[in-house]
């Protein structure tokens, strides 16, 4: 995870206005594309600190309303079914299948000095990603993301901080998704399968 901090200035010299600080402006320009492979249609993949561990292959999806955790991360964090709380709704997978979540867990996601508690829904389906962070995380962090610029920006202590992409991981995830052969036969999964 790469975090860049840009300072902001205080307004004016009047003591009353000195208390007001210029709020950082979150936006993107062509300069933010420097270092990216252009043109591209890549998803935005980053590394985040989740539950105290640096987790790679996290997809930032501003089109999703829920955060998702896949089996690789669930197993990597040594989570058990007892760690999960019940989640009583179905989800629809990227393939259009109905998915029954294993449960939900709240974990801290740290970006720079900011920590946001995130409710991850744990599902047992294949994904080249380890997790998906979505609008709830972006909104709580006060962040904006851009797939074009392959970047997430958020305000922190009167600065604009950035979470930069991992475009090579994005392309590896794409290859893995293309090469993945979906299960042709339906299988019965038990609670211990995850």
List average pLDDT for each run of 10 residues in the chain, which is 194 residues long: 44 50 78 85 91 94 93 92 92 82 96 93 91 96 92 90 82 80 51 55
C-alpha of 173 from chain center: 15
Whether residue 28 contacts residue 149, with contact meaning beta carbons closer than 8 Å, is answered with yes
CATH code for the structural domain at 35-178: 2.40.70.10
pLDDT at 16: 52
pLDDT at 20: 55
Task: Name the 3-class secondary structure at 106.
Answer: strand
pLDDT at 181: 77
Quote the CA–CA distance of 101 and 179 in Å, as a whole number. 25
pLDDT at 164: 76
pLDDT at 1: 44
Quote the CA–CA distance of 91 and 177 in Å, as a whole number. 19
Q: Which residues pair with 159 in a beta bridge?
A: 156
pLDDT at 69: 96
C-alpha of 30 from chain center: 23
pLDDT at 15: 52
């Amino acid at each position: 995870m790469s975090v860049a901090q840009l300072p902001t200035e205080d307004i004016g010299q009047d003591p009353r206005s000195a208390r007001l600080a210029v709020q950082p402006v979150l936006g993107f320009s062509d300069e933010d594309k420097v270092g990216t492979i252009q043109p591209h249609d890549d998803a935005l993949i980053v590394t985040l600190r989740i539950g105290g561990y640096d987790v790679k292959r996290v997809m930032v999806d501003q089109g999703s309303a829920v955060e998702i955790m896949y089996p690789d991360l669930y197993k990597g964090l040594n989570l058990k079914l007892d760690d999960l709380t019940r989640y009583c709704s179905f989800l629809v997978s990227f393939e259009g299948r109905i998915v029954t979540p294993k449960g939900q867990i709240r974990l801290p996601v740290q970006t720079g000095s900011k920590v946001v508690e995130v409710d991850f829904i744990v599902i047992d389906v294949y994904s080249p990603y380890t997790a998906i962070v979505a609008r709830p995380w972006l909104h709580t962090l006060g962040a904006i993301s851009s797939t074009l610029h392959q970047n997430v920006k958020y305000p922190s202590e009167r600065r604009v901080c950035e979470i930069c992409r991992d475009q090579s991981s994005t392309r590896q995830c794409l290859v893995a998704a293309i090469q993945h052969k979906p299960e042709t036969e339906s299988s019965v999964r038990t609670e211990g399968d995850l």
